[in-house]
Amino acid sequence: MREKMLEILFVVLTIVFAATGYSLHQWNRHSYQLTNRNPNDLRIVTWNVGGAGGHGGRSLDNQFLPHVATVLKELDADLILLQEIAYEKQVSRLSRMLGGKWEAMVSNGGGRSVAILAQRGRLYSRIRPDKKHNGLAASYRAPGKPPVFLMNIHADPYSAQRRNRLIGWATDVLMSRFPDHLKILAGDLNLDIDIDKRRDLFTDDEYLDIETYNYVAQRLPDVTLNTGSTAEPDRRLDYIFADVKRLNVVHAGPWKGKRVADMDHDPVVADLKIE
């Protein structure tokens, strides 16, 4: 009887997801392939660098900053969104290693701080960083391109309710302000909503996670959908949502093979062509 009810629930969910644009199919394994950056495009990367301390360390360790810098220099992105920064000086050192003229913002969330780095344009703080939301909002303005309003967040890995509150707050802030700006929401959302897989890894309420995902995706499309897992073991936790009405996705997805020490996240990259 229980199996029959689960089968009915699965069919109902399939119909609901079809109506909202979410697919139950396994993610296609089309990860990001690096190409030369088109100067007219916008390249954005989000990366949870926690675990680069090695030996169980959770925050980016100075010993591994050169590796992270090497990966990011190869990407040559316009916008870099990092999660699990230990303290602000790490971002300053990373910026110097990257070379060029980078602007940076860091939240004050302790060992799980988030940061935004930008080149070829200016960053303007839009929301005061705080520990409650562990997110950063900024405007990015580059010559010859429309302004971008972006949000970098790191959601709670263990509580679906806390994820729901943070992601909902970030989405509402993003969509309610600066209507002339392109909108981008990215980061480690800790949503693993493929219900065909194991559900006992992190989430405590997968259905609330599905609602949370759909709340964002109905407003800003998921530009890395169907591009594969972003974290071990075979989980999709890192996302880039963007205003595709004004942006075309050229390339997007996780860039594999760039982890170091005990990192469990890949950098996730999107090349966006501005209409």
The tens digit of pLDDT for each residue in 127-150 reads 765 555 578 999 999 999 999 999
Retrieve residue 186's tokens: 């990215």
Pick the more confident residue, 230 or 206.
230
DSSP letter assigned to residue 243: -
Helix (H) or strand (E) holding 92: helix 88-98
The Cα-based distances of 248 to 6, 42, 45, 242 in angstroms read: 39, 10, 16, 9
d(CA 117, CA 171): 21
Q: Which residues pair with 116 in a beta bridge?
A: 81, 105
Domains of the chain and any CATH numbers: 2-274 (3.60.10.10)
* pLDDT the model gives residue 40: 92
The tens digit of pLDDT for each residue in 70-123 reads 999 999 999 999 999 888 888 999 999 999 789 999 987 656 789 999 999 999
Retrieve residue 57's tokens: 């360390």
d(CA 196, CA 198): 7
For the cut 60, the answer to whether the pLDDT of residue 22 exceeds it is: no
The tens digit of pLDDT for each residue in 164-219 reads 999 999 999 999 999 999 999 999 999 988 655 554 445 557 789 999 999 999 99
Strands (DSSP E) contained in the chain are: 41-48, 79-85, 103-106, 113-118, 122-125, 135-141, 148-154, 182-188, 238-242, 247-254, 268-274
Q: Which residue has the tokens 């981008």?
A: 184
Relative orientation angle of helices 206-217 and 2-20, to the nearest 10 degrees: 10
Tally of residues, the chain = 275
Please, which residues have CB within 8 angstroms of residue 10's CB and are 6 or more apart in sequence?
Answer: none
The Cα-based distances of 101 to 8, 40, 118, 124, 251 in angstroms read: 56, 19, 8, 15, 25
Share of the chain above pLDDT 90, in %: 59
For the cut 90, the answer to whether the pLDDT of residue 266 exceeds it is: yes
